[in-house]
Amino acid sequence: MKDYSLIYKKPAPFRNDDLFLRDHRKCNIPEDGWERWSLPIGNGYMGINIFGRTDEERFLITENSLSNPCSYNDKYPGGAAGLSNFCSFYLTTGHNKVKNYSRSLNLNSALCKTEYTYKNVRFLREHFASYPDNVFVTRITADKEKAVSFTLKSEVSLNRPYLFEEGDGMGKSAEIFTEDGTLVIRGKMDYYNILFEGKLKVIAEGGTVSAENGIISVKEADSVLILFTCGTNYKSDGRVFLEKDPKKKLDEKNDPHKKVSETLKKASALTYNELFTRHLKDYSSLFGRADISLTDESVCIPTDKLLKEYRKKNYTSYTEELVFQYGRYLLISSSRPGGRPANLQGIWNRYDSSPWSSGYWHNINVQMNYWPSFNTNLHECFLPYIEYFNAYKGLAKEHADEYIRNYFPENFSDDNGIAVATGGWLYDMEKLPDPKTGHSGAGTGAFTVKLFDDYYEFTRDKDFLENTGYEALREMSVLLSKILEKQEDGTLLSKYSASPEQCHNDEYYHTKGCAFDQQMIFQCWKDTLKAAKALGISDSFTAYLEENIDKLSPVLIGLSGQIKEFREERYYGDIGEKKHRHISQLIGLYPGDIITGENEEYIKAAQITLNRRGDRSTGWSTAHKLNLWARTKNGNRAYDLVKTAVSKCMATNLWDLHPPFQIDGNFGFTAGVAEMLLQSHEGFIDVLPALPDKWDSGSFSGLTARGGFTVDAEWKGCKATKISVFSAAGETLRIKAGTTLLEQKTEKGKTYTFNL
């Protein structure tokens, strides 16, 4: 694998100093230091932004459970509140006017570095976030003895508005003090009674360390190791969702103090090299699994320059590989078992009131977060979402009961399934909205359980299917069977339907049976039947699904040759915004498998629809279109979206911009590039299904396909020359390269190579 690094010759600016903005509409600032320039590292438990400043360095810490509810009122005008940052540390050296400055983030090792020369001394700071030891590690070294001196404090000592008491019940308060040579932040966030604690320790070689009044001072050390860990009393279980009193969702007895202290103590017993070795072993066991090589060139210029060049149409494929791998890096850093799922900003947040509350938005955003976990060989990264689902499913049942009781009382029974609406958080889930006014319909729930179908398809993890996957699919199918209305011609349509967030004449448009709902219901039933078959289940409900699935009419073609978004639409754009960011009528093309190459007419209609919608939109929308074009197997059009995403949607630190920063666009991009190189949704593996002319020769390894297969391929002149497939499940392999379709029985654990 090539070496992939983000490199900069200047630190992240502190511009936009108010890092605790309470109105996220003001946060789209072009030179924002945190959002556009800082470098993110993380271990699934916490995220850290490194600014790389020499005089006053800043580390900004995020822990995803430290949250207020999402709130829409005058105080949170953008409809926000939600996640709050954990804290910041400021490391002050007074090193101004430095020489030979450079900072970087190496993706192969998840190591961040800042280097510079100050008064003839070369300084090096190295940072990583270890998952196995749950600790944020910083080492500072210099090429002269006794050169390392600094003070380190948390923001409260700088009078930043860390402590809020504003009478809205959403305050956060903490004590910051030094104890046994450690810096301790111990506090409480009021609304959900969240107890939090963070502990930082400085270990110096040579020199002196003193810890007093919340400030650590290091004088004349040869080198220094800084360790930090944090936690809250959050516990992912049914109680947190089912308990209605916000003050009782968490247990005070789960005080994180003990765990945090023990974690820090264990980490302090290890040397920097030991910590790094353990980190690297863990991290590279995930990151190293998938590689794509679209060019022989590596371009080692600073990333801001690289991006500038790319924007000038110097489309270096190294940049495309870098952004692809960055998505994988970000997913490994933000979503690991034991931690919370990746939210709208992954695990990085600088706000007290973050954009869209840093929630789990279920009408495309959180789903997109997990697309690359499946096809780029990071299945474990999806486990936090499974845990999350298992915690909230009790509430999802209550919501289904309520919805059916209110809007379909004639269908109410003792099993109404589960309902998953758009908004999701770690302490609550939104109810399905009033179907006559809400911006998205019941189909969002099916969009969510599609993730479970994919997870099983890629991993063939039968335990998962038995314990979680099938139940989720079935229960969602149950709900969706109760919201239908039979039409005169026998068609079953979602009675109250909305195409996510689509507006007509500036108002949400409500109808019956829009494409999004019909396709999602069809998909959910289809996947439920497939899962039932895999588990050998056949009962009255599966019989009902079999009998009725063909009455759903999920895809209709209109007079412009388009896939209709609404049944009553005649020509493209008759109803709704023509360029709307959601392109919900194609949800059956990706991530669904309703619109496939089996029906050429559908694919043609999908392409017409994509062209009419246009390429340019928000970050995640661009990423969705990249996946959609890949599924139509038009490599050059998919590549247009690669170019648009990289040149128009990325900040200097390669974070994807809605704007503001939303991580879904990064993840959707990575999934999309993989989808151009390998597909497996049509009952066979398609190698290089959407290869653009630009990538005429290259190779990939470790991309994953449905059926438990892992695929490597090499190609020249846009034709595959060699393919190797590893079979984890021992299923029959059907694989297509160009026009040849090969079939091969496989055994578990064996690799099959085809020279073409």
Compute the chain's Rg from CA coordinates: 26
Residue nearer to Ca ion on the CB measure, 83 or 260: 83
Provide the b/e sequence for 155-173 (b: ≥16 CB within 10 Å): bbeeebebebeeeeebebe
CB 672 within 8 A of CB 626: yes
Q: Closest approach of Cβ 622 to ligand FUC, in Å?
A: 12
Stretch that binds Ca ion, among 239-247, 349-357, 549-557, 710-718 (CB under 5 A): 349-357
**Phi/psi at 640 (5° precision):** -55, -40
Looking at beta carbons only, is 377 or 662 nearer to ligand FUC? Answer: 662
CA dist list (Å): 467 to 240, 374, 392, 418, 478: 21, 19, 15, 16, 18
Residues 6 or more apart whose Cβ sits within 8 Å of residue 269: none
Q: Which listed option, ligand FUC, Ca ion, none, makes contact with residue 501 (CB within 5 to 8 Å by class)?
A: ligand FUC
Q: Which of 448, 618, 634, 727 binds ligand FUC (CB under 6 A)?
A: 618
Q: Cβ 574 to ligand FUC, closest distance in Å?
A: 21
Residue 514 binding: pick among ligand FUC, Ca ion, none (C-beta 5-8 Å cut-off by kind): none
Q: How far is the CB of 417 from ligand FUC (least distance, A)?
A: 24
Measured from the CB atom, is 430 or 454 closer to ligand FUC? Answer: 430
Q: What share of the chain is helix, strand, coil (3-state, %, to 5)?
A: 35, 25, 40
Contact segment (CB under 6 A) with ligand FUC among 181-189, 357-365, 413-421, 707-715 equals 357-365
Residue 233 interacts with which of ligand FUC, Ca ion, none, CB < 5 to 8 Å by class: none
By CB under 6 A, what part of segment 360-379 binds ligand FUC?
Answer: 361, 363, 365
The entry of ligand FUC, Ca ion, none near residue 98 (CB within 5 to 8 angstroms by kind) is none
The Cα–Cα gap between 141 and 282 comes to 25
Site string for Ca ion, 76-105 (x = CB under 5 A): ----xxxx----------------------
Is 114 a binding residue for Ca ion by CB under 5 A? The answer is no
Does 581 participate in binding ligand FUC (rule CB under 6 A)? yes
Q: Which is nearer to Ca ion, 82 or 659 (CB)?
A: 82
Cβ closest to ligand FUC, residue 660 vs residue 692: 660
Work out whether 344 is an interface residue with ligand FUC (CB under 6 A). Answer: yes
Contact 610, 586 (CB under 8 A): yes
Residue 344 contacts which entry, Ca ion, ligand FUC, none (Cβ below 5-8 A, type-dependent): ligand FUC
Smallest separation, CB 599 to ligand FUC (Å): 29
Size of residue set near Ca ion by CB under 5 A: 7
Cβ distance to ligand FUC smaller for residue 355 or 592: 355
Near ligand FUC by CB under 6 A: residue from 356, 516, 572, 602: 356
Q: Which candidate, 60, 40, 78, places its Cα nearest to that of 355? A: 78
Any contact of residue 496 with ligand FUC (CB under 6 A)? no
CB of 94 to ligand FUC, least distance (A): 41
Q: Which does 474 bind (CB under 5 to 8 A by kind): Ca ion, ligand FUC, none?
A: none
What residue 294 binds from ligand FUC, Ca ion, none (CB within 5 to 8 A, per partner kind)?
none
Q: Which is nearer to ligand FUC, 361 or 655 (CB)?
A: 361
Determine the Cα–Cα distance for residues 659 and 657; give it in Å rounded to an integer.
Answer: 4
In terms of Cβ atoms closer than 10 Å to its own Cβ (0-12, 13-18, 19+), residue 252 is exposed
Residues 558 and 578 sit within 8 Å (Cβ to Cβ): no
Q: Rule CB under 5 A: is residue 62 a binding residue for Ca ion?
A: no
Question: 399 vs 582, which CB is nearer to ligand FUC?
Answer: 582
Measured distance CA(184)–CA(212) in Å, rounded? 11
- For residues 83 and 586, which CB has a smaller minimum distance to Ca ion in the complex? 83
Can you point out the beta strands (E) in 304-390? 360-361
Cα separation, 90 vs 152, whole angstroms: 6
The nearer residue to Ca ion, 236 or 354, going by C-beta atoms, is: 354
How near is the Cβ of 315 to Ca ion at its closest, in Å?
37
Contact status: 353 vs Ca ion (CB under 5 A): yes
Give which of ligand FUC, Ca ion, none residue 354 binds (C-beta under 5 to 8 Å, depending on kind): Ca ion
Sequence length of the chain is 756
**How many Cα atoms sit within 13 Å of 648 on the Cβ side?**
15
Say if residues 116 and 124 touch (Cβ distance below 8 Å): no
Stretch that binds ligand FUC, among 251-259, 326-334, 356-364, 467-475 (CB under 6 A): 356-364
Name the segment binding Ca ion (CB under 5 A); options: 137-145, 355-363, 460-468, 717-725. Answer: 355-363
Asked if the bond preceding 433 is cis, omega within 30° of 0, the reply is no
> Which residues lie below 8 Å from residue 345, measured CB to CB, with a gap of 6+?
83, 354, 355, 358, 661, 662, 663
Q: Measured between alpha carbons, how far is 579 from 270 in angstroms, rounded to an integer?
A: 55
Buried b (16+ CB within 10 A) or exposed e, 505-526: eeebbbbbbbbbbbbbbbbbbb
Residue placing its CB nearer to Ca ion in the complex, 456 or 661: 661
User: Binds 353, which of ligand FUC, Ca ion, none (CB < 5 to 8 A, cut-off by type)?
Assistant: Ca ion
Closest contact distance (angstroms) between CB of 620 and ligand FUC is 6
C-beta closer to ligand FUC: residue 182 or 357 = 357
Whether the link from the prior residue into 355 is cis, omega within 30° of 0, is no
Interaction partner, residue 82 (ligand FUC, Ca ion, none; CB < 5-8 Å by kind): Ca ion
For 332, the 3-state DSSP assignment is: helix
Nearest distance, CB of residue 448 and ligand FUC, angstroms: 14
String of DSSP letters for 261-324? HHHHHHHHTS-HHHHHHHHHHHHHHHHTT-EEES-S----S-HHHHHHHHHTT---HHHHHHHH
In the complex, minimum distance from the CB of residue 169 to Ca ion, in angstroms, rounded to a whole number? 14
Q: Which is nearer to Ca ion, 189 or 267 (CB)?
A: 189
Give how many residues touch ligand FUC by CB under 6 A: 12
In the beta sheet, which residues pair with residue 346? 343
Give SS3 for 491: coil
* CA–CA gap between residue 66 and residue 60 (Å, rounded): 14
**726-727-732 Cα angle (round to 5):** 125
225-264 footprint of Ca ion as x/- string (CB under 5 A): ----------------------------------------
**8 A C-beta contact, residue 496 and residue 509:** no
Q: Is position 658 an interface residue for ligand FUC (rule: CB under 6 A)?
A: yes
Confirm or reject binding of residue 501 to ligand FUC (CB under 6 A). yes
CA dist., res. 302 & res. 295, Å (int)? 19
| Partner whose footprint covers residue 365, from ligand FUC, Ca ion, none (CB < 5 to 8 Å by kind) | ligand FUC
The minimum distance between CB 581 and ligand FUC, in angstroms, equals 6
**Which of 264, 671 has the CB closer to ligand FUC?**
671
What DSSP character marks residue 158? Answer: G
Helix, strand, or coil (residue 526): helix
Structural contact between residues 197 and 260, judged by C-beta atoms closer than 8 angstroms: yes
Q: Would you say 82 or 619 has its CB closer to Ca ion?
A: 82
Nearest distance from C-beta of residue 349 to Ca ion, angstroms: 7
Residue 372 near which of ligand FUC, Ca ion, none (CB within 5-8 Å, type-dependent): none
| Residues contributing to the site for Ca ion (CB under 5 A) | 80-83, 353-354, 357
| Residues contributing to the site for ligand FUC (CB under 6 A) | 344, 356, 361, 363, 365, 501, 581-582, 618, 620, 658, 662
